[in-house]
Amino acid sequence: MTQPPHPGPHGSLAAPDVRGDVIDHGEHLSIRGDWVLGHYARLKADTDRFLADRQGQRKAGDLSELGRVDTAGAALIAELLGPDALAQLADQAPDLAEEKRALLHAVAATLANRSEPQRSTTNPIVAILMAAGQRTEQLFELLRLLLGFIGQTLAALAYNLPRPSRWRVTSFVAAVQDTGLNALPIVALLTFLVGAVVAFLGATVLEDFGATIYTVNLVAFSFLREFGVLLAAILLAGRTASSFTAHIGAMKVNEELDAIRTLGLNPIDLLVLPRVLAMMVSLPILTFVGMISGMVGGAAVCALALDISPSQFIAILERDIALKHLLVGLGKAPIFAFLIAVIGCLEGFKVSGSAQSVGEHTTSSVVQSIFMVILLDSIAALLFMEMGW
């Protein structure tokens, strides 16, 4: 790796090349010349070749002939000698400049603290339990943040509702149009199709018992109590919660939230409350539309396949279906709407400042919203069943 003298550009004998090299003296290595970024490619190739020849074995070093050195060169010297040996050698070199000594110490400490990948020897059962514990801890942390944000939202709502001058009417109306009116066609279409499917499947099963007339009861019960609110909530969780997260997350990436706080405004009052209130208004309306559309789809199947006329369908609804089933379904809608909106806004505030983070938290908001909606709906179904509602 030595570089002999060579003629200069005018034929005179020039000084040796300042590119760094290493001389093997048997018991130790002599580090010479300039180890800087400009020579990094050649120095890296020489270092790799030297370590390959020595099969990765490291020897003691001598830094007395070391010229200029920067971070890239110091990293190569640490790779050649070892981080610990480099730090010790830098202390023992009397002629080494203080700035070079500090640089070599910093690079050696950084490389020594860098953890190298190790093969895991953990018992698989222990690894599964550790992973489960970490997931549980993350879940509790998520619930803690969600409860805290719900508390902040409720406190802001209680403070602003008695003060009409603080109401954001324009933002509220725009959010109602986005979350309610624009979602109306897809909710109506989806619930109509699901109602038709439920009626068809119910008729197919009940036909074996000669009880196809009860298809009307099946469709009415399922949509008034469960499907109407559940389908509307899941659609809004995928459509609107993700929109809330992406909007607020993009504002955080662009530092607009910091600008809002600098102006003395509260982002919760400005961004969260209009969305939460709009969702609590929109979801009950969409739920009612979903109930009607689902029963219309069931009535269409009954009229086409079971010879149950629409007038007979409505008569059975009036006779057998109590008003409490409609109220149970509509009563769950504001709670679901509040949770969907809060989760969507919270995930937007949790964005860390990159486009990737926006995408991750948008996905997380949809998953969390749908999970919470289904979980609460299951709990409510068990509770109402036990109460005889």
pLDDT in tens, 86-104: 777 777 777 778 888 788 8
Amino acid at 205: V
256 and 366 belong to one structural domain: yes
Residue 253: pLDDT over 60:
yes
374 and 265 belong to one structural domain: yes
Q: Any idea which residue has 């490389």 for tokens?
A: 111
Beta-carbon count within 10 A of 348 CB: 29
What integer pLDDT is reported at residue 122 of this predicted model?
65
Q: Number of folded domains in the chain?
A: 2
Return mean pLDDT, the chain. 83
> Does the residue 222 lie in any domain?
yes
38 and 165 belong to one structural domain: no
Higher pLDDT pick, 179 / 10: 179
Confidence of residue 358 (pLDDT cuts 50, 70, 90): confident
> Does the residue 118 lie in any domain?
no
108 and 159 belong to one structural domain: no
Residue at a domain's end among 113, 139, 170: 113
pLDDT in tens, 184-215: 999 999 999 999 999 999 888 888 888 888 88
234 and 93 belong to one structural domain: no
Cα–Cα nearest to 225, from 106, 154, 327: 327
174 and 101 belong to one structural domain: no
109 and 161 belong to one structural domain: no
> Does the residue 145 lie in any domain?
no
Domain that holds residue 45: 21-113
Q: How far apart are CA 277 and CA 172, in angstroms?
A: 7
108 and 161 belong to one structural domain: no
Confidence of residue 118 (pLDDT cuts 50, 70, 90): low
> Does the residue 1 lie in any domain?
no
Q: Which residues contact 297 (CB under 8 A, 6 or more apart)?
A: 191, 192, 193, 194, 195, 196, 197, 199
What integer pLDDT is reported at residue 7 of this predicted model?
42
99 and 184 belong to one structural domain: no
